Amino acid sequence: MKTFVIIPSAGSGSRMKSSLPKQFIKIKGKEILAHTLEKFQNASLVNSIVISTRRDFIKKIELIVKRYNFTKVFDIVVGGKERQDSVYSAIKAIPADDKDLICVHDAVRPFITSEEIDQLIKFAKRKKAVLAAKRAVDTIKIGSLIVESTLDRNKIWIVQTPQIFSYGILIKAFEKAYNENFIGTDESSLVERLGSDIYFYELQSDNRKITIPYDLKYAKIFFE
C-alpha cells in the first residue's frame, strides 16, 4: 500500500493582501511551500508527492523542488478555479490502486510535523478515511448579527489537513460531487456524501493555515 500526497498550491491568497501568493512568501529565508514540502519529504511513510498549481507558478515551483532536493515530488500539475478542482487534477495524475492512500495537505500549513504525518498515515492504513482535527476549546455559536444558537462544544471539531482517504473512496467521492455539481471546501465534505465512516485524528502539533497577515508574524516567531 503506497501513500501519495497532494499539495494544492494554486491559490492566490487574496486575504493576505500581498501581491505574492502566500505559499511563496519567505519565512526565515525559505518559501512557505518549501517548509511544507520539507515535512512530507522527511516523513518516512510518504512515497510520492504531486503539487497542483497555477500554470504561471510551475517554473517557480520546479526551482523550489530542485533547490531543496525534494526527491519525492514526481509531478506538478495545473490546478483549477476552486481548491476542489486543483485537488482533482492532481488525483487524475496519480497512478494509484484503489487501496493506496491519498493524503491532501494545504501548501499553506507549514507547521505540521513529519512525526504527526507518519502517525496520521499509520491510522489511515487501518481506517481508510481520516481527518486531522482539533477539539474546539472555545464555545461555538451560530448567527449572523445576533446569536441564533450555541453548539454542544463536546461534539465540535475544527477540521484541518492532512485529510487521508483510500484512492478508491476518494475518486468515487469526487466523481459523485462533479456529477451533482457539488463544491466543497475540503475532501471530507465530498466523502461524507458517500456515507462512508470518516475518523477524526486529534492533532497535537500547531497546524494553523497561513491566511491573514497576523499568521505571518506568528510563523516568524514559530520558526525562530
Residue of 11, 37, 100, 130 that binds ligand C5P (CB under 6 A): 11
Residues 33-52 that bind ligand C5P (CB under 6 A): 52
Residues 151-210 that bind ligand C5P (CB under 6 A): 209
Q: CB under 8 Å to 220, separation ≥6 — which residues?
A: 27, 28
Interior angle at CA 189, CA 186 and CA 190, nearest 5: 100
Residue type at 128?
A: K
Residue 82 makes contact with ligand C5P by CB under 6 A: yes
Determine if residue 161 is left, alpha or beta; phi over 0 gives left, psi from -120 to 50 gives alpha, anything else beta: beta
- 3-class secondary structure, 166: strand
Residue of 3, 23, 89, 166 that binds ligand C5P (CB under 6 A): 23
Q: Which of 136, 129, 168, 162 is nearest to 151 (CA)?
A: 136
Residue 107 makes contact with ligand C5P by CB under 6 A: yes
Residue 79 makes contact with ligand C5P by CB under 6 A: yes
Minimum Å gap between C-beta 103 and ligand C5P is: 14
Q: Which is nearer to ligand C5P, 3 or 89 (CB)?
A: 89
Q: Which is nearer to ligand C5P, 21 or 128 (CB)?
A: 21
d(CA 27, CA 72): 22
Bridge partners of residue 159, in order along the sequence: 133
Helix axes 114-127, 32-41, angle to 10 degrees: 60
User: Do 126 and 197 touch, CB atoms closer than 8 A?
Assistant: no
Residue 75 makes contact with ligand C5P by CB under 6 A: no
Q: Which is nearer to ligand C5P, 33 or 124 (CB)?
A: 33
Residue 106 makes contact with ligand C5P by CB under 6 A: yes
Q: Which is nearer to ligand C5P, 97 or 206 (CB)?
A: 206
Minimum Å gap between C-beta 87 and ligand C5P is: 7
Point out which residues bind ligand C5P (CB under 6 A).
8-11, 23, 52, 79-83, 86, 106-108, 209, 211
